[in-house]
């Protein structure tokens, strides 16, 4: 009976995980495909530009648990409190890192003063 309950519980957990993954996986993801030129003729060179954006906070604390000798580079325009707290934790354990924040007319650097020395502002031309 216990084996049957464990199997049933495992199947229910798998089904719930599968449902949640299918429903939430693509949320916050964006793909943009475009050519570098609008019009070309035979013989012209053109580039296909593919931009994939993930607007989820994907940095987890366990990813930040690296050795003291590692140098961390984070590229994220997300400046939410959770990410700032992770960066402050890195300062507290004396881990070197750089946080590159892409900015434009809508996105500005808004982080606590303690982190500013580790920030590189990357101005995007849009």
Domain membership of residue 109 (yes or no) is: yes
122 domain-assigned: yes
Distance (Å) of CA 93 to CA 26, 86, 87: 34, 11, 10
Inside any domain, residue 44: no
Query: Is the pLDDT score of 68 beyond 60?
Result: no
**How many domains would you assign to the chain?**
1
Confirm whether 125 is domain-assigned. yes
Reading the block at residue 90, the tokens are 């890195």
As a whole number of angstroms, the distance between CA 27 and CA 33 comes to 18
- pLDDT, residue 27, reads 74
Domain presence at residue 79: yes
Residue from 77, 69, 83 nearest 107 by CA:
77
- For residue 37, being part of any structural domain is answered with no
Domain range for 70 is: 57-126
Report if residue 28 sits inside a domain: no
Residue 120 clears pLDDT 70, i.e. is over it? yes
Is the per-residue pLDDT at 30 higher than 60?
A: yes
Q: What is the pTM of this model?
A: 0.48
User: Is the pLDDT confidence value at 57 over 60?
Assistant: no
Distance CA 5, CA 23 (A): 27
Residue 93 inside a domain? The answer is yes
Residue written as token pair 């354990």: 93
Q: 87 near 64, Cβ under 8 Å?
A: no
Burial of 107 (0-12, 13-18, 19+ CB in 10 A): middle
User: Residue 58: pLDDT band by 50, 70, 90 thresholds?
Assistant: low
């Amino acid at each position: 009976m216990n084996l049957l309950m464990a199997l049933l519980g495992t199947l229910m957990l798998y089904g719930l995980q599968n449902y949640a993954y299918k429903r939430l996986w693509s949320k916050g993801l964006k793909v943009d495909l475009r050519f570098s030129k609008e019009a070309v003729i035979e013989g012209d060179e053109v580039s296909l530009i593919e931009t994939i954006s993930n607007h989820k906070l994907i940095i987890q604390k366990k990813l930040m648990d690296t050795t003291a000798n590692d140098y961390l580079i984070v590229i994220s325009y997300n400046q939410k409190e959770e990410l700032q707290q992770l960066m402050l934790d890195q300062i507290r354990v004396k881990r070197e890192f750089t946080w590159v924040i892409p900015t434009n007319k809508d996105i500005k650097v808004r982080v606590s003063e303690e982190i500013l020395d580790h920030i590189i502002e990357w101005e995007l031309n849009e």
